[in-house]
């Protein structure tokens, strides 16, 4: 099996699902946001504040290039905006099987209502911002994905079972 890459909007469950999936599959997990924080020795909000979004997106691209050279058979959780850049979509597909954890705006709002660590959600009307960002990003997620999993109204166990099932089918069709 190759790397399994989880993409999707913030709050879709990429990190939590990634951790649990890596445990189930007995594979190492890498979170690209944590990787960037470790390499840069600062948090994502600090990076955004000091250098802006463009620099952060450059670091995301560098992180995929690094992972392409260094990892095999891992579960990789990505930042929500990583697939925005066309070059990142190409690199993610090279890196392994890409799974899009698709989520509705209402679910995101419910999950992130008390989260103050998301730089892109600061300010007025996060609901409107989330809907607009999802509309903008969903085509990039769909273009990148090998597999789409809808995560609304499902437990983590249900999502993990579904991922394992479709991964089995994916492996069969690739061989």
- What is the pLDDT averaged over residues 36-57? 93
Q: Scanning the structure block, which residue is given the tokens 């166990």?
A: 157
**What angle do helix axes 86-95 and 126-144 make, rounded to 10 degrees?**
50
In CATH, what number is assigned to the domain containing residue 151?
3.40.50.300
Mean pLDDT across the chain: 90
Q: pLDDT tens digit string along 97-150?
A: 999 999 998 888 888 776 666 655 666 777 788 889 899 999 999 999 999 999
- What is d(CA 7, CA 141) in angstroms, rounded to the nearest whole number? 7
Please tell me the predicted confidence (pLDDT) of residue 115.
Answer: 67
- The bridge status of strand 96-102 relative to strand 147-150 is parallel
**Is the CA virtual torsion 67, 146, 160, 170 positive or negative?**
negative
User: How many domains does the structure of the chain reveal?
Assistant: 1
Nearest partner of 30 among 83, 65, 2, 67, judged by Cα: 67
- Full domain range(s) for residue 79: 3-174
Claim: this prediction has a pTM higher than 0.85: yes
DSSP letters, 23-53, are HHHT--EEEHHHHHHHHHTS-HHHHHHHHHH
Give Cα 163 to chain centroid, integer Å.
15
> Given this model, what pLDDT does residue 169 score?
78
Contacts of 39 (CB under 8 A, 6+ apart): 59, 63
Task: Give how far Cα 150 sits from Cα of 52, 54, 96, Å.
Answer: 31, 29, 20
Give the pLDDT confidence score for residue 175 in this predicted structure.
42
Cα separation, 154 vs 151, whole angstroms = 6
Which residues fall within 8 angstroms of residue 88, CB to CB, at 6 or more apart? 60, 61, 64, 82
């Amino acid at each position: 099996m190759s790397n399994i890459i989880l993409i999707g909007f913030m709050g879709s469950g990429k990190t939590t699902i990634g951790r649990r999936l890596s445990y189930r599959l007995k594979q190492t997990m890498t979170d690209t946001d944590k990787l960037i924080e470790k390499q840069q020795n600062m948090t994502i909000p600090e990076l955004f504040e000091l250098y802006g979004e463009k620099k952060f997106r450059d670091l995301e691209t560098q992180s995929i290039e690094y992972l392409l050279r260094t990892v095999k058979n891992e579960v990789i959780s990505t930042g929500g905006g990583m697939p925005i850049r066309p070059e990142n979509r190409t690199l993610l597909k090279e890196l392994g099987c890409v799974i899009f954890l698709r989520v509705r705006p209402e679910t995101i709002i419910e999950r992130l209502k008390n989260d103050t660590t998301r730089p892109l959600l600061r300010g007025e009307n996060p609901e409107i911002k989330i809907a607009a960002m999802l509309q903008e990003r969903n085509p990039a997620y769909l273009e990148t994905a090998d597999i789409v999993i809808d995560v609304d109204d499902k437990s983590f166990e249900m999502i993990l079972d579904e991922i394992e099932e479709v991964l089995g089918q994916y492996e069969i069709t690739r061989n």
